[in-house]
């Protein structure tokens, strides 16, 4: 009996192994790099290997003289961190504020010289460059990812990341913690704006482009103008049940694979070299302890040879926060065995001592350590960090980056920003707003760079923006430039307090704003949120602040037309005040060129072309996404009960207006009957019937009529953005595969079921028919 069990075990191990070998590597390996990795690994001691798995924040190695400004990387501290503990990676920005490329290059050279001297292995420095160069002073800051997604233009995340990589490398930083790929499906979440919105396909498409922009075309050869990307946060971080950051989600394996894993899979297959883990827990299991997700689904399931890093202190959190183990040492055992390769510790070097003891006690195997270290070394070789010449001449580096912070990048950023602000309402075509009108500009976001930029801008919370972004225009400055100073009166009415909590407001000027309105023709009210990031941005009420609502209500009483500009990281509920407005523009977090782009759009010098990448809620208890289930939207007569569960949203995902109009016609498909292997081409004619040139994102939605797992109402399956002159028609072709319409069934395997699907594009609708059920035996569709 015992023999039989051993044999069965052996057999299944062989099958799993053969299966793993059959999976095409997500990133093709480079034999030269592999040989170098093995050679280096073979010479390393256990302490050196463990040190490579440790990542420390830069605060641990800096001296900050009290009397003077600035900081110094301390040689003595480097002796401890790299000399003694052989630490392989440093992260974060010195002094918690953006540094010039010269300072970066100098610091990184100093660290790397030490590292090469002490352990003959370079350090890999990682930085959060989130919408452009968050932490490199003088670089280009673009709209946040939520804005980039609203463009529905794949070129935008590509170009933003490409420019960001170039400017990041001007300071010799080789590794960025981006793109963020959390599906922003919980609008209260304080990191909603860091994501590409609620849809998994849109996320997948945008993130793949970002990876290519950051890394260039060959992930084995990260060039001088590229950086390694780090996808984050793996996975389902964007759906905390409570809406608060780093709190539990409850996603089933089925939904996890279908919606949350899929974008990561595609970005990994696009060559992403590293990945950061979701800080939180799902169904009671912290992601940092989840071997199934880290090792089985990701590393083995995709045959991916990249590197997994934790988020900030998240191994410790398994003990001190999540209580799944009693000691920090036990936490390290669980996390490393689950598949973590590098721990963003970020302060406690005791990680190294504990991990060494765990190996000596046989609780973490040498094989696991070698696997982790191979992945780290591979990343360093891929980034060409062993080329020591790089660390010789920090002062000259910037000369190789003549476009750093250039007017050329600024011009691109402005155009990108114009494509990222969404027109949601335009009653009686009140917009564009002609010159010559007297404007009252009001609201707490009307004269602040902090509001336009949001978090991860010069500092983590974005709270240093007023000092760092002086050369850029607030909305007030941009409107004065556009309409003339004499035509713009600024009375904020409500303002954000300069110190204290990001939410704190001063509402003492409401009457003054109302008074000023009487002398104006139109009121532009810039409302929303001040900057924040992560847990400090947690909310208990998604409704826009009471002060700001009061301001709008008071202004509306003047009967002057009100234009609402929403400048916010998440859709704050405006149910009460939206009906009081003539027009609404959601500029979200548009960055340094947000004011200028808005002025161009308001004046009609540019046209709107963005659409919401999330569903804007109308009421607090009616949070929904566009891919809802049928029972979420039943009239009273549907089903066997009086459901009365209808979609009541302010604006649905994909909604957005323009100054021109588009007519859709002739939606056709080349195969109305299809199977999983078929390629389908949809063609639709789109005509610009208005008088202005415009860009239109053409969105292809497909819904499964009947499926064994209750089907989503509809799903975005393709999109293309086109430009049309007035009167011009273009035929837009969107190609998908039959297998793209599969879903994950009850047994956690992908399946495409026979039956009818409806296809929607603009106001056009057709049906297609799947003639053959196909089930995938492997976990992923290749
Ligand atoms: C955030 C990550 C970030 C890391 C390093 C964490 O608090 O969750 O997104 O990359 O800090 O700064």
- At 702-756, the pLDDT tens digits run 999 999 999 999 999 999 999 999 999 999 999 999 999 999 999 999 999 999 9
- At 747-774, the pLDDT tens digits run 999 999 999 999 999 999 999 999 999 9
Atom of ligand 1 nearest to the CA of 233: 9
Arithmetic mean of pLDDT, 2-13: 47
Cα(50)–Cα(86) distance, rounded to whole angstroms? 8
User: Ligand 1, from 173, 247, 312, 455: best to mutate by most atoms within 8 Å of Cβ?
Assistant: 312
Q: How confident is the model at residue 12 (pLDDT cuts 50, 70, 90)?
A: very low
- At 190-238, the pLDDT tens digits run 999 999 999 999 999 999 999 999 999 999 999 999 999 999 999 999 9
- At 156-178, the pLDDT tens digits run 999 999 999 999 999 999 999 99
Q: How confident is the model at residue 11 (pLDDT cuts 50, 70, 90)?
A: very low
User: Ligand 1, from 276, 277, 317, 457: best to mutate by most atoms within 8 Å of Cβ?
Assistant: 276
- At 498-509, the pLDDT tens digits run 888 999 999 999
Strand partners, 766: 759
312 lines ligand 1 (CB under 6 A): yes
Residues recognised as catalytic: 311
pLDDT at 635 over 90: no
Q: How confident is the model at residue 463 (pLDDT cuts 50, 70, 90)?
A: very high
Q: What is the pLDDT of residue 21?
A: 53
pLDDT at 2 over 50: no
Atom of ligand 1 nearest to the CA of 460: 12
- At 577-634, the pLDDT tens digits run 999 999 999 999 999 999 999 999 999 999 999 999 999 999 999 999 999 999 898 7
Q: How confident is the model at residue 5 (pLDDT cuts 50, 70, 90)?
A: very low
Q: What is the pLDDT of residue 779?
A: 85
Report the 10 Å Cβ neighbour count for 130.
24
pLDDT at 6 over 50: no
Please name the residue whose Cα sits nearest to atom 7 of ligand 1: 312
232 lines ligand 1 (CB under 6 A): yes
What percent of the chain has pLDDT above 70? 96
The pTM score is 0.96
311 lines ligand 1 (CB under 6 A): yes
User: Ligand 1, from 56, 175, 177: best to mutate by most atoms within 8 Å of Cβ?
Assistant: 177
- Supply the mean pLDDT for the chain: 95
128 lines ligand 1 (CB under 6 A): yes
Q: What is the pLDDT of residue 4?
A: 52
Q: How confident is the model at residue 778 (pLDDT cuts 50, 70, 90)?
A: confident
Q: Where are the alpha helices (DSSP H) in 86-144?
A: 101-119
**SS percent in the chain: helix, strand, coil, step 5:** 35, 20, 45
Q: What is the pLDDT of residue 389?
A: 87
In this predicted structure, which of 125-134, 460-469, 630-639 has the lowest mean pLDDT?
630-639
Helices (H) and strands (E) in the chain, counts: 23, 33
Q: What is the pLDDT of residue 672?
A: 96
Q: How confident is the model at residue 637 (pLDDT cuts 50, 70, 90)?
A: low
Question: What is the 385 CA–ligand 1 centroid distance (Å)?
Answer: 23
- At 49-81, the pLDDT tens digits run 999 999 999 999 999 987 767 899 999 999 999
Question: What is the 316 CA–ligand 1 centroid distance (Å)?
Answer: 15
- At 26-50, the pLDDT tens digits run 999 999 999 999 999 999 999 999 9
Question: What is the 361 CA–ligand 1 centroid distance (Å)?
Answer: 32
DSSP secondary structure, 327-382, as one string? SHHHHHHHHHHHT--BEE--S-THHHHHHHHHHHTTSS-HHHHHHHHHHHHHHHHH
Arithmetic mean of pLDDT, 329-352: 98
Q: Are 547 and 507 in contact (CB under 8 A)?
A: yes
237 lines ligand 1 (CB under 6 A): no
What residues have CB less than 8 Å from 645, skipping those under 6 apart? Answer: 631, 632, 633, 634
Cα(35)–Cα(298) distance, rounded to whole angstroms? 24
Please name the residue whose Cα sits nearest to atom 6 of ligand 1: 312
Q: Are 644 and 185 in contact (CB under 8 A)?
A: no
Q: What is the pLDDT of residue 633?
A: 87
Please name the residue whose Cα sits nearest to atom 5 of ligand 1: 312
pLDDT at 462 over 60: yes
């Amino acid at each position: 009996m015992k023999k039989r069990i051993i044999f069965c075990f052996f057999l299944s191990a062989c099958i799993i192994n053969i299966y793993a070998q059959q999976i095409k590597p997500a990133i093709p390996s480079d034999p030269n790099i592999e040989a170098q990795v093995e050679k280096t690994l073979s010479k390393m001691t256990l302490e050196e290997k463990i040190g490579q798995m440790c990542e420390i924040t830069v605060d641990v190695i800096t001296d900050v003289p009290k009397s003077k400004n600035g900081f110094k990387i301390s040689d003595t501290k480097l002796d401890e961190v790299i000399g003694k503990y052989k630490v392989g990676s440093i992260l974060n920005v010195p002094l918690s504020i953006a540094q010039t490329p010269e300072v970066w290059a100098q610091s990184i050279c100093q660290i790397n010289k030490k590292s090469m001297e002490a352990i003959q292995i370079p350090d890999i420095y990682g930085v959060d460059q989130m919408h452009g160069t968050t932490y490199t002073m003088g670089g280009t800051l673009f709209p946040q990812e939520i804005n980039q997604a609203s463009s529905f233009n794949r070129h935008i995340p590509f170009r933003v990341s490409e420019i960001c990589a170039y400017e990041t490398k001007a300071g010799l930083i080789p590794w960025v913690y981006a793109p963020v790929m959390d599906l922003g499906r919980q609008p209260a979440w304080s990191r909603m704006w860091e994501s590409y919105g609620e849809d998994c396909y849109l996320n997948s498409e945008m993130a793949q482009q970002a990876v290519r922009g950051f890394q260039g075309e060959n992930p084995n050869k990260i060039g001088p103008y590229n950086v390694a990307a780090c996808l984050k946060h793996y996975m389902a971080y964007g759906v905390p049940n409570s809406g608060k950051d780093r709190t539990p989600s409850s996603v089933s394996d089925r939904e996890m694979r279908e919606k949350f894993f899929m974008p990561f899979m595609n970005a990994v297959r696009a060559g992403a070299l590293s990945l950061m883990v979701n800080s939180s827990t799902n169904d009671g299991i912290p992601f940092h302890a989840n071997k199934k997700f880290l090792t089985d689904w990701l590393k083995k399931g995709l045959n991916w040879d990249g590197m997994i890093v934790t988020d900030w202190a998240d191994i410790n959190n398994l003990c001190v926060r999540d209580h799944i183990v009693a000691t920090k040492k036990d936490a390290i055992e669980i996390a490393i065995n689950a598949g973590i390769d590098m721990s963003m510790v970020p302060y406690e070097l005791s990680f190294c001592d504990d991990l060494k003891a765990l190996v000596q006690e046989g609780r973490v195997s040498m094989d696991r350590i070698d696997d982790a270290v191979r992945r780290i070394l591979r990343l360093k070789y891929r980034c060409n960090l062993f080329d020591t010449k790089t660390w010789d001449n920090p002062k000259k580096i910037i000369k190789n980056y003549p476009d750093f912070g250039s007017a050329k990048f600024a011009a691109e950023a402005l155009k990108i920003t114009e494509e990222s602000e969404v027109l949601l309402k335009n009653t009686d075509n009140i917009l564009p707003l002609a010159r010559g009108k007297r404007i009252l500009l009001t609201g707490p976001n009307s004269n602040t760079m902090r509001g336009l930029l949001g978090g991860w801008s010069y500092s983590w919370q974005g709270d240093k923006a007023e000092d760092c972004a002086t050369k850029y225009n607030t909305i007030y400055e941009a409107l004065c430039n556009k309409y003339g100073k004499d035509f713009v009166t600024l009375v904020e009415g409500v303002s954000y307090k300069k110190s204290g909590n990001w939410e704190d407001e001063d509402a003492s000027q409401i009457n003054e704003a109302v008074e000023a309105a009487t002398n104006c023709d139109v009121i532009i009210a810039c409302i929303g949120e001040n900057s924040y990031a992560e847990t400090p941005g947690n909310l208990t009420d998604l409704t826009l602040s009471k002060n700001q609502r009061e301001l709008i209500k008071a202004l509306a009483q003047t009967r002057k037309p009100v234009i609402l500009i929403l400048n916010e990281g998440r859709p704050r509920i405006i149910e009460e005040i939206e009906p009081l407005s003539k027009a609404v523009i959601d500029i979200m977090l548009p960055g340094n060129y947000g004011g200028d782009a808005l002025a161009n759009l308001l004046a009609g010098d540019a046209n709107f072309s963005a659409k919401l990448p999330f569903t804007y809620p109308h009421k607090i208890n009616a949070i929904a996404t566009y891919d809802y289930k049928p029972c979420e939207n039943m009239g009273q007569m549907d089903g066997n009960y009086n459901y009365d569960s209808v979609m009541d949203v302010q604006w649905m995902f994909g909604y957005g207006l323009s100054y021109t109009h588009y007519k859709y016609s002739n939606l056709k498909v080349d195969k109305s009957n299809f199977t999983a292997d078929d390629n389908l081409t949809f063609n639709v004619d789109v005509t610009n019937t208005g008088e202005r040139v415009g860009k239109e994102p053409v969105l292809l939605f497909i819904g499964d009529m009947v499926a064994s797992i209750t089907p989503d109402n509809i799903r975005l399956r393709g999109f293309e953005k086109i430009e049309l002159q007035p009167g011009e028609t273009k035929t837009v072709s969107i190609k998908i595969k039959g297998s793209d319409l599969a879903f994950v069934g009850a047994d956690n395997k992908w399946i495409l079921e026979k039956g009818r699907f409806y296809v929607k594009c603009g106001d056009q609708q057709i049906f297609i028919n799947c003639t053959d059920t196909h089930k995938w035996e492997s976990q992923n569709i290749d």
